[in-house]
Amino acid sequence: MRAAAATILSDFWGLIFPRTCLGCQEPLARGEEHLCTSCRAQLPYTDYHLLPEAANPLARRFWGKLPVRHALSYLRFLRRGRVQHLLHQLKYQNQRDVGLALGRWYGHDLARAGLSFDLIVPVPLHARKLAQRGYNQSDPFAEGLSEALHTPWHATALRRTSHTDSQTRKNRVQRWQNVAEVFEVADPEAVRGKHVLVVDDVLTTGATLEACAAVLLAAGAAEVSIATIACADR
């Protein structure tokens, strides 16, 4: 009886504030969350988790740089498409729940494929950006993955260091080194001996995730894997 009343209430609520699909803006049906069934079916999934590492184009980007156990991305980033719209919602429209849902959906896929990790760590945001946006857009994705994979996540295991203010006096090589040095492990105890999954919203060059993976390995993480919501083709 109570469940029926809740359904009626939610249908009534839906009449006043219709929930629309974040992909196509059509109204959502009952049971659909954030994306309609048709948009979910049409997302550009990479399925990199199903490929052998040698055939995974994302894994290849890290070859010769540092050892990455699994290089994963839920979706391919396509400009002006559904994925860009979704990420925009997550980043600028305060749609924290989108990141959470994407993390849950992807986490279920990874668990089904038999992948497991000891700890999930989001790429930290600059303090200034955090203050502007109110949240780190990688946090809800980490949280959703954590739920589906039954693996803890640690929002402050990594932090950005702030000594990037003397950029102008540096040459190009020094500047690049400076970028590589913007992350440090804030909680080495938490990562030591662990297989850490570092997560971010988008991968473009891979430099950010590479820098995070490098400091985690230096701090004693046993293995590092990376996962993003979307990655851009090169």
Footprint on this chain of Zn ion (rule: CB under 5 A) = 21, 23-24, 36, 39
Give me the least distance between CB of 225 and Zn ion, in Å please. 30
What CA dihedral angle connects 24, 201, 130 and 144, to 10 degrees?
Answer: 80
The secondary element (H helix, E strand) that includes residue 158 is strand 158-160
Give the span between the Cα atoms of 168 and 228, in whole angstroms.
31
Residue 23 or 206 with smaller CB distance to Zn ion: 23
Upper half-sphere CA count for residue 149 (Cβ side, 13 Å): 27
Give me the least distance between CB of 39 and Zn ion, in Å please. 3
The residues pairing with 227 across neighbouring beta strands, listed in sequence order, are: 72, 199
Give me the least distance between CB of 25 and Zn ion, in Å please. 7
| CA angle 88–127–86, rounded 5-degree value | 10
Residue 76 or 126 with smaller CB distance to Zn ion: 76
Residue 3 or 41 with smaller CB distance to Zn ion: 41
Residue 30 or 163 with smaller CB distance to Zn ion: 30
The secondary element (H helix, E strand) that includes residue 231 is strand 223-232
Please give the structure tokens belonging to residue 221.
């993480």
Give me the least distance between CB of 74 and Zn ion, in Å please. 17
Closest alpha carbon to 188 in 215, 152, 160, 226 = 215
Give me the least distance between CB of 8 and Zn ion, in Å please. 25
Instruction: Work out the number of other CB atoms within 10 angstroms of the CB of residue 167.
Output: 10
Give me the least distance between CB of 24 and Zn ion, in Å please. 3
The residues pairing with 160 across neighbouring beta strands, listed in sequence order, are: 183
